């Protein structure tokens, strides 16, 4: 049995959909398939070389069948935007155990245009249908955001710290032709923008787009038979965690336990420290999430996230380049953004990012699932173990 961490499992293919943004005629399933074909081409493989598949939003066998794959392993773990971090972790375990050889992970979501997308289903007897939605907490901007004032107050931060996150990340997006929001923006301009849900203005909320992405994973042993070894990305460590379906019932409004659980497991399994990390992706559906994540994953101490952003440490040339595609706030956000966070980490480690972090060797990726519901963490590197 191989190792699921320390480079025993390799990302040999990674790609996004050919187009991102507003795709008003592309059905959601075609976004999965386009991303899958691009990732397979990137790996130099065909579907004949795939014996395992994982996805979210679509039943897993719908996607495998559409691609002509008859899998011997599959994973339909559906925990919102961090499903793909968890798919990588589960696929790595299965590859290491010999349950599968080569896994395709797909994401496709017509999040903006909603072309042949699954309908939103409201269940008035569900926990959220009884205890949250009747108060107007339906859209993520009026639900995921509700704990933020408690967080800011507990740290002595203000809504200006939310705007600092937006302005910092925009610097990465400005040169990126695939980013949706590319206009340079100041902290004051973010604060003066249209208010969506106080304390959040428009630019503190993610873009809403159509698109997808896919990954191909296999064992280090099989990867040696493939071309392009210099572009292979290794899984050093991973973790996952979950709480529950109601944001109102978080164990602690000011710190999310699954961020701590998943990231600690990822660092422990990778056998690295925070100082070893060259690049970070923190899933940012809204501007408060990188602040929670910086603290909960241990990159900074409690209450230090605001100052860390203000000091420029996450900017180009900074100590911890963060959300280097512009993030969900500026690059793209289909609804399940986690796939795009992984894609940018892979590009950075391959040296192929639009705004490249010089010499990036180790990337840390932190995902969130649903609205403070679940979490998944990955430590990726361009050298094994």
Binding site for other proteins (CB under 8 A): 122, 124-125, 127, 129-139, 141-143, 145-151, 153, 194-200, 246-249, 253
- Contact at 8 Å (CB) between 165 and 287? yes
- Other Cβ atoms less than 10 A from the Cβ of 156: the count is 9
- Neighbour order of strands in the sheet with 102-110: 73-75, 52-55, 102-110, 210-219, 9-16, 233-242, 374-381, 362-369, 279-282
Selection from 226, 213, 221 nearest residue 12 by Cα: 226
Selection from 83, 122, 371, 82 nearest residue 247 by Cα: 371
Cis bond before residue 199 (omega within 30° of 0): yes
- Contact at 8 Å (CB) between 365 and 377? yes
Of the two residues 119 and 317, which places its CB atom closer to other proteins in the complex? 119
Of the two residues 38 and 143, which places its CB atom closer to other proteins in the complex? 143
Token pair in block for residue 224: 């040696």
Of the two residues 132 and 278, which places its CB atom closer to other proteins in the complex? 132
Of the two residues 12 and 206, which places its CB atom closer to other proteins in the complex? 206
Q: For the CB of residue 143, give the shortest distance to other proteins in the complex, in Å.
A: 8
Interatomic CA distance for residues 32 and 28, integer angstroms: 7
- Other Cβ atoms less than 10 A from the Cβ of 199: the count is 20
Q: For the CB of residue 181, give the shortest distance to other proteins in the complex, in Å.
A: 19
Residue 201 phi, psi (nearest 5):
-95, 175
Q: For the CB of residue 36, give the shortest distance to other proteins in the complex, in Å.
A: 34
Q: For the CB of residue 253, give the shortest distance to other proteins in the complex, in Å.
A: 6
Q: For the CB of residue 377, give the shortest distance to other proteins in the complex, in Å.
A: 26
Q: For the CB of residue 329, give the shortest distance to other proteins in the complex, in Å.
A: 17
Of the two residues 200 and 234, which places its CB atom closer to other proteins in the complex? 200
Interatomic CA distance for residues 61 and 329, integer angstroms: 32
Give the ranges where 332-380 is alpha helix by DSSP (H).
338-350
Of the two residues 127 and 257, which places its CB atom closer to other proteins in the complex? 127
Interatomic CA distance for residues 96 and 362, integer angstroms: 21
Interatomic CA distance for residues 234 and 45, integer angstroms: 18
Of the two residues 147 and 213, which places its CB atom closer to other proteins in the complex? 147
- Contact at 8 Å (CB) between 201 and 193? yes
Q: For the CB of residue 139, give the shortest distance to other proteins in the complex, in Å.
A: 7
Interatomic CA distance for residues 232 and 239, integer angstroms: 21
- Other Cβ atoms less than 10 A from the Cβ of 183: the count is 10
Q: For the CB of residue 167, give the shortest distance to other proteins in the complex, in Å.
A: 21
Of the two residues 61 and 141, which places its CB atom closer to other proteins in the complex? 141
Of the two residues 136 and 271, which places its CB atom closer to other proteins in the complex? 136
Q: For the CB of residue 82, give the shortest distance to other proteins in the complex, in Å.
A: 23
């Amino acid at each position: 049995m191989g190792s699921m961490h320390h480079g025993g499992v390799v990302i040999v293919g990674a790609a996004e959909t050919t187009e991102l943004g507003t795709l008003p005629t592309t059905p959601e399933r075609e976004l999965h398939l386009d991303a899958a074909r691009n990732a397979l081409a990137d790996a130099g493989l065909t579907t004949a070389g795939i014996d395992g598949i994982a996805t979210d939003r679509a039943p897993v066998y719908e996607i495998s069948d559409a691609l002509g794959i008859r899998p011997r392993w599959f994973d339909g773990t559906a925990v919102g935007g961090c499903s793909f971090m968890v798919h990588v972790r589960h696929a790595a375990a299965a590859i290491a155990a010999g349950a599968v050889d080569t896994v395709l992970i797909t994401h496709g979501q017509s999040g903006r245009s909603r072309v042949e997308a699954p309908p939103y289903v409201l269940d008035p007897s569900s926990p959220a249908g009884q205890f949250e939605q009747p108060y107007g907490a339906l859209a993520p901007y009026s639900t995921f955001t509700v704990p933020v004032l408690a967080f800011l107050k507990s740290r002595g931060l203000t809504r200006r710290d939310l705007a600092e996150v937006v302005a910092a990340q925009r610097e990465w997006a400005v040169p990126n032709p695939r980013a949706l929001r590319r206009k340079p923006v100041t902290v004051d301009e973010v604060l003066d923008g249209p208010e969506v849900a106080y304390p959040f203005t428009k630019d503190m909320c993610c873009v809403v787009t159509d698109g997808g992405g896919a990954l191909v994973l296999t064992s280090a042993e099989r990867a040696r038979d493939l071309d392009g070894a210099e572009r292979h990305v290794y899984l050093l460590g991973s973790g996952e965690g979950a709480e529950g379906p109601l944001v109102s019932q978080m164990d602690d409004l000011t710190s999310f336990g699954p961020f701590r659980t998943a990231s600690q497991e990822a660092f422990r399994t990778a056998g690295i420290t925070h100082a070893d990390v060259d690049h970070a992706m923190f899933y940012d559906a809204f501007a408060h999430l990188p602040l929670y994540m910086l603290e909960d994953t241990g990159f900074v101490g409690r209450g230090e996230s605001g100052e860390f952003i203000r000091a420029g440490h996450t900017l180009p040339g900074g100590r911890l380049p963060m959300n280097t595609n512009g993030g969900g706030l500026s690059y793209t956000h289909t609804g399940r953004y986690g796939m795009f966070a992984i894609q940018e980490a892979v590009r950075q480690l391959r040296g192929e990012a639009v705004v490249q972090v010089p010499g990036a060797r180790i990337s840390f990726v932190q995902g969130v699932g649903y609205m403070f519901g679940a979490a998944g963490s990955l430590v990726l590197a361009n050298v094994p173990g």
